């Protein structure tokens, strides 16, 4: 019993001490000010941390109520915070400027939140900026124009009848129209969801754009059409434009009283999607992870991360952006991405892979095919059939090719290693800025035609491990062309190499061939 009491006291002391160590000091103060303003004047509010409520009403006076809350781990830091945070009220009757002033480099140990409640004449223009983090920014019953630029928080627009422009990064944007919209609204966000609630008899042209989210409405949207990822539709008889754009969130225009669950996707209403390059962004975003597909695998999404372990049939994948990873494909493989890396395993049928940007790695292309990226590295471990490899900028590396190899990059090195079991293979390799390295077995036979075009002939050279090749130099404008031609080991398939401002290496090496396991 005595032990239990001692243990209890020890735990209590420990808990109280940890609470003491974690304690913080805080202070809160409230300021209220009144300023005259023209009924059609402007109010600018700049508040990095804290909520803002702007409420329209009658009269020609602005009433500002600001509550400043400071927290710090100790009294000294709290004092420092108090000295460094200032509320500023500037301007005249035409423009009133309300600001929270913070030092440019502040001590991260203290925090500040200033919550403003500002009552304004209904007709003023409101501009809110510099908001980094706000629980909410609310503007209500304002007939003037409203502009909000913030980083994160919930933006609520209630009964705003003037033109509005909102630009947010994270959070959420909610519009609640008290009456039919009479001025245009422009809402742009990166990660925020945008929801607009409008009266059922509203008339407007709706422009919506999202890549990762969806476009939803409970209105009867007419004349819907897509231009890339941008949707254009008409509600009622149309008229003013409501533009909603969120990169990663959803955008929705809803009849007041309805809810999001009842809304229809504008993408789903599209007629049967015919896959043509560029319109993949109409597809909704998806993420898929499958260990095994017993048959063909067909997939299309605007933003998608695709991981499939094995496809027993053909694979056809189309994405706007994302990473694609396929383990093994027994049939043909066709992967097109507008951007993102492709990681492909053992492809037994013919291969077509393209990405708008990113690296492409192919472990084995048994029948060969075409692999292209507009920018990125191309790495193929085993090429069993003829292959065409292209990069808009980036290295191309082939660990072993056994059939015709055609590799070209706008800028980067090309490194190709031939199958040592093959006596002769046709090769074409080009780089417009970089080096070419061709590794072959010492008994490799070919007709060599290698060219370097360089502005620095002292630096760029041919490095050839084979005899029987003639090297000539000639001046072409302000550049020097170094050309090596001849037959090695008696001649064979044509090997054509071209490098600008780089070296060419044809290296004779005793190579270890790659052997692939047979599929089960």
Partner 1 sequence: MPDCDSMRENMPLLLTESLDPARRELTHQHIEMCPMCVAEWSAYKETWSILDTLPELDVPARVKQRFLAEVSPASVTPNVVPFRRRSAPRWLAQAAAVVIIAGGAFYGGRRMTPRVELTPTPAQVTAIQQAMPAQAAYSIAESRVLPAASISPQIEGRPDIQNVQFTDATPSNDQIGVSFDITSHVTVTGRPTDKSMVRLLRYVLENEDKQSPSRSRAIDWVRSTYAHVGNPDPEITEALANVLRNDDNQGVRIKAADTLRSLQSTMTDGTRDALVEALKNDPNPAVRIKAVEALAKLARSGGTMDPDMVDTLRKKASQGDENVYVRVKAAEALSSIQPR
Contacts of 256 (CB under 8 A, 6+ apart): 176, 177, 197, 198, 199, 200
| Residues in a beta bridge with 362 | 344, 380
Quick one: residue 262, left, alpha or beta (phi over 0 = left, psi -120 to 50 = alpha)? alpha
Residues 9-48, one symbol each (x = binds partner 1 by CB under 8 A, - = not), give ---------------------------------------x
By CB under 8 A, tell whether 279 contacts partner 1.
no
Strands 111-121 and 61-72: antiparallel
512 secondary structure, DSSP code: P
Tokens of 138: 């609310």
Q: How many residues form the binding site for partner 1 (CB under 8 A)? A: 58
For partner 1, give the closer residue by CB, 432 or 514.
432
For partner 1, give the closer residue by CB, 427 or 437.
437
By CB under 8 A, tell whether 471 contacts partner 1.
no
Q: Which stretch binds partner 1 (CB under 8 A): 197-205, 235-243, 288-296, 427-435?
A: 427-435
Closest of 346, 348, 344 to residue 332, by C-alpha: 348
Q: Which stretch binds partner 1 (CB under 8 A): 6-14, 135-143, 351-359, 467-475?
A: 351-359
Residue 248, SS3 per DSSP: coil
Residue 48 Cβ vs partner 1, minimum distance, rounded to whole Å: 8
Strands 469-476 and 479-488: antiparallel
For partner 1, give the closer residue by CB, 170 or 428.
170
Closest of 224, 216, 354, 189 to residue 284, by C-alpha: 216
Residue 500 Cβ vs partner 1, minimum distance, rounded to whole Å: 10
- Residue 324 in contact with residue 311, Cβ under 8 Å? no
Q: Which stretch binds partner 1 (CB under 8 A): 235-243, 288-296, 328-336, 458-466?
A: 458-466
By CB under 8 A, tell whether 213 contacts partner 1.
no
| CA–CA distance, 76 with 44 (Å, rounded to integer) | 33
Residue 341 Cβ vs partner 1, minimum distance, rounded to whole Å: 8
Chain residues 183-212 in contact with partner 1, contact rule CB under 8 A: 188, 190-191, 211-212
By CB under 8 A, tell whether 284 contacts partner 1.
no
Q: Which stretch binds partner 1 (CB under 8 A): 12-20, 61-69, 338-346, 417-425?
A: 338-346
For partner 1, give the closer residue by CB, 82 or 170.
170
Q: Which stretch binds partner 1 (CB under 8 A): 21-29, 286-294, 353-361, 380-388?
A: 353-361
By CB under 8 A, tell whether 94 contacts partner 1.
no
By CB under 8 A, tell whether 151 contacts partner 1.
yes
By CB under 8 A, tell whether 169 contacts partner 1.
yes
Cα angle 104, 109, 112 (rounded to 5 degrees) comes to 65
Tokens of 269: 């209403």
By CB under 8 A, tell whether 275 contacts partner 1.
no
Closest of 246, 232, 139 to residue 188, by C-alpha: 246
By CB under 8 A, tell whether 441 contacts partner 1.
no
Contacts of 276 (CB under 8 A, 6+ apart): none
The sign one gets for the Cα dihedral 11, 13, 18, 22 is positive
Residue from the set 115, 505, 506, 511 that interacts with partner 1 by CB under 8 A: 505
Residue from the set 170, 243, 258, 343 that interacts with partner 1 by CB under 8 A: 170
| CA–CA distance, 471 with 459 (Å, rounded to integer) | 16
By CB under 8 A, tell whether 411 contacts partner 1.
yes
Q: Which stretch binds partner 1 (CB under 8 A): 139-147, 158-166, 483-491, 498-506?
A: 498-506
| Residues in a beta bridge with 149 | 167
Tokens of 469: 């090749």
Tokens of 341: 């890396």
For partner 1, give the closer residue by CB, 49 or 219.
49
Concatenate the DSSP letters of all residues of 126-175 into one string: EEEEEEEEEEEEEEES--S-EEEEEEEEEEEEES--S-EEEEESSSEEEE
Place of tokens 């004047």: 41
For partner 1, give the closer residue by CB, 384 or 394.
394
For partner 1, give the closer residue by CB, 332 or 373.
373
By CB under 8 A, tell whether 129 contacts partner 1.
no
| CA–CA distance, 18 with 25 (Å, rounded to integer) | 15
Residue 56 Cβ vs partner 1, minimum distance, rounded to whole Å: 28
Residues 299-328, one symbol each (x = binds partner 1 by CB under 8 A, - = not), give ---xx----------------xxx------
Tokens of 56: 């329209």
| CA–CA distance, 487 with 448 (Å, rounded to integer) | 6
For partner 1, give the closer residue by CB, 69 or 203.
69
| CA–CA distance, 324 with 316 (Å, rounded to integer) | 11
Closest of 465, 454, 389, 455 to residue 428, by C-alpha: 389
Which stretch of DSSP H or E encloses residue 83? Answer: helix 75-84
Residues 358-397, one symbol each (x = binds partner 1 by CB under 8 A, - = not), give xx-------------xxxxx--------------xxxx--
List residues near partner 1 by CB under 8 A: 48-49, 108, 132-133, 151-152, 169-170, 188, 190-191, 211-212, 247-248, 281, 302-303, 320-322, 337-341, 356-359, 373-377, 392-395, 409-413, 415, 433-435, 437, 456, 458-460, 501-503, 505
């Amino acid at each position: 019993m005595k032990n239990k009491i001692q243990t209890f006291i020890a735990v209590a002391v420990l808990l109280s001490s940890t609470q003491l160590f974690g304690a913080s000091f805080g202070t809160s103060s409230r300021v209220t000010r009144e300023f005259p303003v023209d009924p059609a004047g402007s109010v600018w509010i700049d508040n990095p941390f804290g909520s803002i409520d702007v409420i329209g009403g009658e009269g020609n006076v602005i009433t500002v109520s600001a509550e400043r809350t400071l927290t710090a781990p100790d009294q000294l830091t709290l004092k420092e915070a108090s000295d460094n945070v200032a509320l500023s009220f500037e301007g005249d009757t035409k423009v009133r400027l309300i600001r929270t002033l913070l030092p440019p480099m502040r001590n991260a140990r203290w925090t500040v939140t200033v919550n403003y409640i500002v009552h304004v004449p209904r007709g003023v223009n409101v501009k809110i900026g510099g908001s980094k983090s706000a629980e909410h920014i609310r503007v209500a019953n304002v007939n003037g124009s409203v502009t909000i630029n913030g980083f994160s928080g919930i933006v609520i627009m209630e009964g705003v009848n003037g033109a509005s422009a909102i630009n947010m990064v994270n959070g959420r944007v909610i519009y609640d129209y008290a009456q039919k919209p009479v001025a245009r609204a422009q809402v742009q966000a990166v990660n925020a969801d945008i929801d607009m609630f409008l009266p059922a008899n509203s008339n407007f042209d709706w422009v919506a754009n999202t890549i990762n989210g969806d476009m939803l409405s409970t209105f009867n949207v007419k004349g819907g059409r897509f231009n890339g990822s941008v949707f254009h539709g008409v509600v009622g008889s149309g008229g003013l434009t409501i533009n909603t754009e969120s990169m990663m969130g959803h955008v929705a225009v809803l009849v007041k009283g309805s809810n999001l669950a009842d809304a229809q996707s504008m993408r789903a209403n599209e007629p049967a999607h015919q896959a043509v390059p560029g319109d993949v962004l109409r597809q909704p975003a998806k993420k898929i992870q499958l260990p095994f597909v017993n048959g063909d695998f067909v997939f299309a999404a605007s933003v998608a991360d695709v991981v499939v372990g094995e496809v027993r049939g053909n694979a056809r994948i189309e994405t706007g952006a994302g990473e694609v990873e396929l383990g093994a494909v027994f049939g043909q493989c066709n992967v097109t991405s507008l951007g993102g890396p492709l990681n492909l395993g053992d492809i037994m049928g013919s291969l077509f892979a393209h990405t708008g940007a990113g690296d492409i790695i192919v472990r084995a292309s048994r029948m060969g095919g075409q692999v292209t990226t507009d920018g990125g590295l191309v790495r193929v471990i085993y090429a069993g059939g003829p292959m065409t490899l292209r990069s808009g900028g980036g290295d191309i590396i082939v660990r072993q090719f056994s059939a015709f190899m055609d590799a070209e990059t706008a800028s980067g090195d090309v490194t190709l290693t031939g199958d040592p079991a093959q006596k002769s293979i046709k090769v074409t390799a080009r780089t417009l800025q970089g080096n070419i390295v061709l590794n072959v077995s010492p008994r490799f036979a070919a007709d060599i035609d290698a060219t370097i075009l360089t502005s620095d002939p002292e630096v760029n050279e041919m490095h050839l491990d084979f005899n029987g090749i003639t090297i000539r130099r000639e001046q072409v404008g302000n550049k020097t062309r170094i050309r090596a031609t001849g037959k090695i080991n008696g001649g064979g398939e044509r090997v054509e190499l071209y490098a600008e401002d780089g070296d060419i290496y044809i290296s004779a090496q005793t190579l270890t061939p790659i052997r692939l396991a047979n599929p089960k």
